[in-house]
Amino acid sequence: MKGRIHNFNAGPAAHPLPVLEKIQAEFLNFKGSGMSVIEVSHRSKRFDEVIQDATARVRRLLKLDENFHVLFLQGGASLQFSMIPMNLLPAGQSADYVNTGTWATKAIKECMIQRKPVKVVASSEDKGFSYIPKEISFSPDAAYAHITSNNTIKGTQWASFPDTGGIPLVCDMSSDIMSRPFDVAPFGLIYAGAQKNLGPAGATLVVIRDDMLERVPQNLPTMLKYPTYVEYNSMFNTPPCFAVYAIQLVLRWLEETVGGLDRMEQINREKANLLYRTIDRSEFYRGTAEKESRSMMNVTFRLPTDELERQFVQEAFEHSLSGLKGHRSVGGCRASIYNATSLEAVQALTDFMKEFAGKNG
């Protein structure tokens, strides 16, 4: 296949083309150093400028005050499933979790492995995780309340975040971070693997509030304690330099090209509305998430038969539309339309969907 295609992969996912072109242009000679960015010392002034700028851009985009720290870690969101209870769930307390699917389930499991008290205060498992629970009674004495903001596999998303009654919210935002503005005040910790909406795989963004650091036990291994990364500005050891550099460029694109999160949300809603309208107006396609819980990032749908789904994915690829196969655990089809996926790409997909339905419906 010649040239670039429309990329609907769930992660690693599409990057903004200007970011890729910038990386390409300076990959062999980063900022006049005569070295690639993957060769420059993480202790150098050049890389320090990169990580400081990335941090500052996260602060501006999320409107963080000085009570929050921006960290770049490794291990993905999956390591955070363990680090969060390890650091933030003191002896004698329990944590509330809302189970909205695979990634929330994994987070609960990792907490239970440590024999930490977990209370699942709400779940959408009764309907195959096709919706976001509404009526939730959070425990007034919980150490924190954990949610997963967007479910990539089932295509659901919190339209607005729940009122926990003052209990710190802890949130996995791996698949919708920077897709829309939100009030950070209720959040004690936010974490996001970079490979869906921030940059390449290899880095994990963590935003943690000061008061959460006060509860971290002293006897944890150094590399598993949040204060280590706060004290050393994410550079206690060698950070994922290339990933942080790429994240910086994506954040710059968000700020300077897109125009910030308000504008990004408008674009994302336009993309999602176009795709959902195509599904809803057709008797050939069927959305799998309840309408009030639909994700702006991951649109999941089925066709009349498994055979047609396989044919759809294959023919879509032949039309330069890639990454439309549903997650292996659920099947079906899925279009991941993260920030970097253009409106033009979604238009191309919907045009193909109408054509395919016309031929096979």
Q: What is the pLDDT of residues 293-311, one digit of tens each?
A: 999 999 999 999 999 999 9
First CA to last CA across the chain, in angstroms?
28
> Region 129-147: what's the mean pLDDT?
97
Q: What is the pLDDT of residue 361?
A: 84
Condensed to tens digits (0 to 9), the pLDDT of residues 241-289 reads 999 999 999 999 999 999 999 999 999 999 999 999 999 999 999 999 9
% of residues, the chain, pLDDT over 70: 99
CATH code of the domain made up of 18-257: 3.40.640.10
> Region 88-96: what's the mean pLDDT?
96
- Two tokens at 147? 């949610």
CATH 3.40.640.10 intervals, the chain: 18-257
Catalytic residue list contains 103? yes
Q: What is the pLDDT of residue 3?
A: 80
Give SS3 for 61.
helix
Catalytic residue list contains 96? no
Confidence grade of residue 50 (pLDDT, cut at 50, 70, 90): very high
Catalytic residue list contains 172? yes
CATH 3.90.1150.10 intervals, the chain: 260-360
Condensed to tens digits (0 to 9), the pLDDT of residues 120-136 reads 999 999 999 999 999 99
Mean pLDDT, the chain, whole residue set:
97
Q: Given the residues 116, 154, 158, 172, select the one marked as catalytic.
A: 172
Assign residue 137 a region (left: φ > 0; alpha: ψ between -120 and 50; beta: otherwise): beta
Sign (positive or negative) of CA dihedral 12, 18, 335, 107: positive
% of residues, the chain, pLDDT over 90: 99
Condensed to tens digits (0 to 9), the pLDDT of residues 192-227 reads 999 999 999 999 999 999 999 999 999 999 999 999
Cβ within 8 Å of residue 105, ≥6 positions away: 99
Q: Given the residues 116, 154, 196, 325, select the one marked as catalytic.
A: 196
Q: At what angle do helices 241-252 and 17-26 cross, to 10 degrees?
A: 130
Closest among 188, 220, 207, 248 to 48, alpha carbons compared: 248
Q: What is the pLDDT of residue 251?
A: 98
Confidence grade of residue 1 (pLDDT, cut at 50, 70, 90): low
Q: What is the pLDDT of residue 2?
A: 63
- Domain 260-360 has what CATH class? alpha beta
Closest among 292, 298, 277 to 179, alpha carbons compared: 298
Condensed to tens digits (0 to 9), the pLDDT of residues 310-335 reads 999 999 999 999 999 999 999 999 99
